[in-house]
Amino acid sequence: MNDHGNPRGMPGRGEAAVRTVHMAASIMLDYPGERLAEALPALAATVAALPRGEAATRLAAFLDHVAATPLADLAAHYVATFDLKRRCCPYLTYYAYGDTRKRGAALLRFKHAYRTAGFEPADDELPDHLAVVCELSGRGGTGQATRLLREHRPGLEVLRQALLEEGSPYAHVVAAVLATLPEPTARERAAAARLAAQGPPEEEVGLEPFDTLADHRLAPPATGRPPGHPAEGRLPGGARR
């Protein structure tokens, strides 16, 4: 399947299935407002139609949790997890570069990938947010998105483990995204272990402190949708959100 190999959690499946998983994950990683509630039937149908495998199983588990949880509780958990816990940071370049000057160059690489794919996230959203990278794939830039995900796989692995330790249902969504990637190499496993043990790099100068950067998602807008997601989009099954 092009240059991103055979996804370990979706054996023998092609780019279309990977794109569907990524688009579903993008919506699930969005701030859980009324739009998520309205999209649940279409999401459930989309996930049910996916090929059997870890990705589909993980997404279904998350949807089961959403169906059984009041929206207000889910929203409170989202904020407490992604906005208030640095170890659960959804911004991929943070894991590789911390708050150093190198992070700025890494963010430019994400922007270049988006331009190449003809995808333009909102100006008020950092381009390395996992939900935005997944949306890039869902809107046709699967090759570019998968390359970015593989480059930042150690950070994704650390995020998944942190969410798992927090008992967060969002661990299922990150695991589903990881399941669309090929088996990790020995180097990737070692990098993830090293990152988990040492944490991201630190530097006195560079970008704004991460707590400031995270303000892009600290306060969900009145629409119940965080910056970076369009007012309307189309689920793989054709439903509006």
Q: Is 228 within 8 Å of 35 (Cβ atoms)?
A: no
Per DSSP, the residues of 198-219 read H-S---SSSSPPHHHHTHHHHS
Q: Would 30 be classed as within a structural domain? A: yes
Tell whether 169 is covered by a domain. yes
223 located within any domain: no
pTM of the model: 0.80
Helices (H), the chain: 15-28, 34-48, 54-67, 71-78, 92-97, 102-117, 130-138, 142-151, 153-165, 170-179, 186-198, 210-213, 215-218
Give the number of domains in the chain.
1
Tens-level pLDDT at each residue, the chain (241 residues): 444 455 655 654 689 999 999 999 999 999 999 889 999 999 999 999 999 999 999 999 999 999 999 999 999 999 999 999 989 999 999 999 998 888 999 999 999 999 999 999 877 789 999 999 999 999 999 999 999 999 999 999 999 999 999 999 999 999 999 999 999 989 999 989 999 888 888 754 444 444 434 443 333 333 333 433 433 343 433 332 3
Residue 18 lies in domain: 2-218
Domain annotation covers residue 241: no
| Assigned domain for 230 exists | no
In a domain, 16, yes or no: yes
The answer to whether residue 104 sits within a structural domain is: yes
On whether residue 229 sits in a domain, the answer given is: no
